[in-house]
Amino acid sequence: MTSRPALLIAGHGTRHEGAADALRALVRRLAERHPELPVAGGFFGAPASPLPLSGAVDELAARGATRLVVVPLLMAPTGAMAEGLPAAVARAAAAHPGLRYACGPELGPDPRLLAALERRLDEALGDGARRPQDRSGTTVLLVGRGAADPYANAEVARAARLLWEGRGFAGVESAFVTLAAPDVPAGLERCRVLAASGPGGGGPARTVVLPYFFFAGDLLERLRMQTEGWAAAHPGAEVVSAEPIGAAPELAEVVLARYRATAADEAAFEDRAAQDVRPSAGAAVTAAVAGGRG
């Protein structure tokens, strides 16, 4: 039997083998640095995932875990979905009587993740981001998944503002792959218009499209297709695509910090029946704001 809670890392909504490999790499990184901590990862919200959340729960239970701290790999709340994270964990844990769990909050926009995003921007720009004047000629389009919940989408806009502060870019705009406006072509068009109207005659020379999610997968492929379609229709525009964060060391640090904060709250490990009806962090904020409007 394990004395400390095990760590369950929960990715969302992909059947992409590349995303599964990245999550495996993140699990290995944490396991190597913290061999005393049982850790596994899987995806929820995607049938036939190559790395299902239920398999990760089974693995940790087989290793003697009686409590799980579930850390969602979400930059922002997802809004309403067919099966939220607490429900997915409850369904997987039902096969292991006595197994209790607590779900932590979304990860973004933690300052360490913003630093990792900045590094992805520099990698995409290469030698074109080495001087302050180079950054001042670059605008960034931060692209989130998109949700039907406006409060979830507002978190992406908040991250864009935080990413812009003090980093010297001409601006950081936000857009969404699906379900929310502006979509990627509209976001790129806004960047183009702002560049043309900016100070200095002509404004920023380039736009970097920066994914605001963790891994490659179907979502990234859709983003790339939307970006390439817009760029093909605007041959005079310079558009550069950055990579997602991936299994970066900063991500491992934030996951571990969320684990420790949640594990320290003994009251979080309540009965599964009570947890099954608990809203996510984003839903709780939405409910509170909506209640204040009534």
Query: Which domains occur in the chain, in start order?
Result: 6-107+247-293 (3.40.50.1400), 111-241 (3.40.50.1400)
Dump strand ranges (E) for 104-229. 138-144, 171-176, 206-211
Q: What is the tens place of the pLDDT at every residue in 268-282?
A: 886 543 444 344 443
Nearest-CA neighbor of 131 among 141, 122, 119? 122
Q: What is the tens place of the pLDDT at every residue in 27-52?
A: 999 999 999 999 999 999 878 888 99
Q: What is the tens place of the pLDDT at every residue in 124-155?
A: 988 655 566 678 889 999 999 998 889 989 99
CA distances from 63 to 24, 58, 66 (A): 17, 9, 9
User: What pTM did the predictor assign?
Assistant: 0.86
Alpha-carbon span 115 to 37, nearest angstrom: 26
Query: DSSP H helical segments within 16-167, as ranges?
Result: 17-33, 53-62, 85-93, 111-125, 132-136, 150-164
Nearest-CA neighbor of 80 among 289, 288, 286, 291? 286
Residue recorded with tokens 């002509």: 202
